[in-house]
């Protein structure tokens, strides 16, 4: 298993309980075929440029171990989730 870091920027207009559910959903997805070491919620931050008419975004950083096959599924889930503005997954 390889170590990865994933940064997700979520729409700042999402309600707090929906936000917690979204963070937990991604954490559960990673845990199906990997192991989440740490989840850092960095909170709302100003974006360098507008993304989908938003000037702010809610940042969440996941540090985890997983098999490479999980990354494609994780990125697919990020893409189909409307609340996710941007994401990146990097191998450490």
Question: What domain count does the chain have?
Answer: 1
pTM of the model as a whole: 0.91
- With cut-offs at 50, 70 and 90, classify the pLDDT of residue 3: very high
Mean per-residue pLDDT of the chain: 93
| Per-residue pLDDT, 22 | 93
Question: The domain containing residue 32 runs over which residues?
Answer: 2-91
Distances (CA, A) of 47 to 7, 58, 79: 14, 10, 19
Mean pLDDT of 48-68: 93
Query: How do residues 9-42 score in pLDDT, each as one tens digit?
Result: 999 999 989 999 999 999 999 999 889 999 999 9
**Token pair belonging to 14:** 């999402």
Whichever domain contains 38, its CATH number is 3.30.70.60
């Amino acid at each position: 298993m390889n170590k990865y870091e994933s940064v997700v920027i979520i729409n700042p207009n999402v309600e707090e309980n929906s936000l917690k559910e979204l963070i937990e959903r991604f954490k559960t997805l990673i845990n199906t075929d990997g192991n989440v070491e740490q989840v850092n919620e960095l909170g709302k931050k100003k974006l360098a440029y507008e993304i989908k008419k938003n000037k702010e975004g809610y940042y969440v950083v996941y540090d985890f171990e997983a098999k490479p096959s999980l990354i494609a599924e994780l990125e697919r889930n990020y893409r189909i989730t409307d609340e996710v503005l941007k994401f990146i997954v990097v191998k450490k």
